[in-house]
Amino acid sequence: MKKTLIATVLAAASALAFAQDYPTKPVQMVAPFPPGGVADIVGRPLAAAMEKSLKQPVLVVNRPGAGGAVGMASVAKAPADGYTILIALSSISIFPVSDRINGKTPAYELKDFEPIALVTADPTVLVVSADSPWKTLKDFVETAKAHPGKVNYSSSGVYGTLHVAMEIFANAAGIQMFHVPYQGGGPALTALLGGQVHALASGPGPAAAQIRGGKVRALAAWSTERLKLLPDIPTFKELGYDAEFYIWSGVFVPAGTPAPVVSRLRTAVREAALSPEFKAAMDKAASPVTYLDAPEFRKYWERDAKRLEAALHKIGKVGDK
């Protein structure tokens, strides 16, 4: 009994000492998409702000592939020591479900991650090229209904956030479009600007500059209320379509990360997310900070994951329509 008690005390003391020393080397923040998308736009200024609290470099590493699943799985399998963290989007909840729908073994499970904080939460916006014939959502839907499968759209990857958002809309509108997946939101937007595709579901931040510059036209938003950033753009719900979707960004660590290290990271992310420097960067990106600490974020994540799971089962296997 005494030996067990001593071992427990020593283990607790060792964990405390580890937390007090943490971090003693650079921390790697994995962004599971290419540069230019929401994770990158949020992750880089957040990492820069976290360095002030952690007193160590926080290095953003883009690890794209499979709509973000490759990078997320790499963090799920990383050592749970606080030196590998993840800046993920809402698509983290998608891939375990979509893999099962398609008869695959998931690359990771949601239980493989410990949430640290929610940082932003933006509804997606349907954008088309400014020189397209579609002035309204009604125009767009009429064309898609008249020519099933002929209207195409880009996305951040199969079953990624932008793909799921568009399929939620397509399901609500009773239309069929052709999906052209890319390796991230940045390349997907570039494809729209380059005329390779007709439409895109985008976070308002990445699309805002192009909307202001007159290069793309926004037709509708997946929010419950009109966006302050784009007050003239109607929501799908007010136009009669049951389509709602948010691209949120949050920080995670591998499950099993010591509680003192998790606490240290929660403090670092909170200080960074609420710093004037980070808020200014997000204002510039047209993506307001929506900070939630770990307990509240976990509840938010669980609710969102259930809603996405229901949407994915409606979508079913890609190509089954």
Largest distance between two CA atoms of the chain: 79
Distances (CA, A) of 68 to 14, 53, 195, 246, 259: 35, 28, 24, 16, 27
Kindly state which CATH superfamily the domain 24-121+247-315 is placed in. Answer: Bordetella uptake gene, domain 1 (3.40.190.150)
pLDDT under 50: residue ranges of the chain: 7, 9, 12-13, 321
Q: Can you give the pLDDT at residue 316?
A: 82
Strands 216-221 and 125-129: antiparallel
- For residue 34, say if its preceding peptide bond is cis, omega within 30 degrees of 0: no
User: Hey, what are 101's tokens?
Assistant: 């729908």
What's the pLDDT tens digit per position in 162-214? 999 999 999 999 999 999 999 888 899 999 999 999 999 998 877 778 988 99
Q: Can you give the pLDDT at residue 172?
A: 94
Same topology between domain 24-121+247-315 and domain 125-221: yes
When the candidates are 3.40.140.10, 3.40.190.10, 3.40.50.10420, 3.40.50.300, the CATH number that belongs to 125-221 is 3.40.190.10
Among candidate residues 120, 107, 95, 78, the one with its CA nearest the CA of residue 253? 78
What's the pLDDT tens digit per position in 20-56? 799 999 999 999 998 888 899 999 999 999 999 999 9
Beta bridge partners of 180: 154
Q: Can you give the pLDDT at residue 7?
A: 47
Query: In which residue are the tokens 């993840």 written?
Result: 86
Q: Can you give the pLDDT at residue 18?
A: 53
User: Hey, what are 50's tokens?
Assistant: 């976290």
Query: In which residue are the tokens 């600007």 written?
Result: 193
Q: Can you give the pLDDT at residue 321?
A: 45
C-alpha span between 37 and 203 (Å, rounded): 9
Q: Can you give the pLDDT at residue 3?
A: 54
Domain boundaries, the chain: 24-121+247-315, 125-221
Q: Can you give the pLDDT at residue 105?
A: 95
Q: Can you give the pLDDT at residue 6?
A: 54
Query: In which residue are the tokens 């490759």 written?
Result: 70
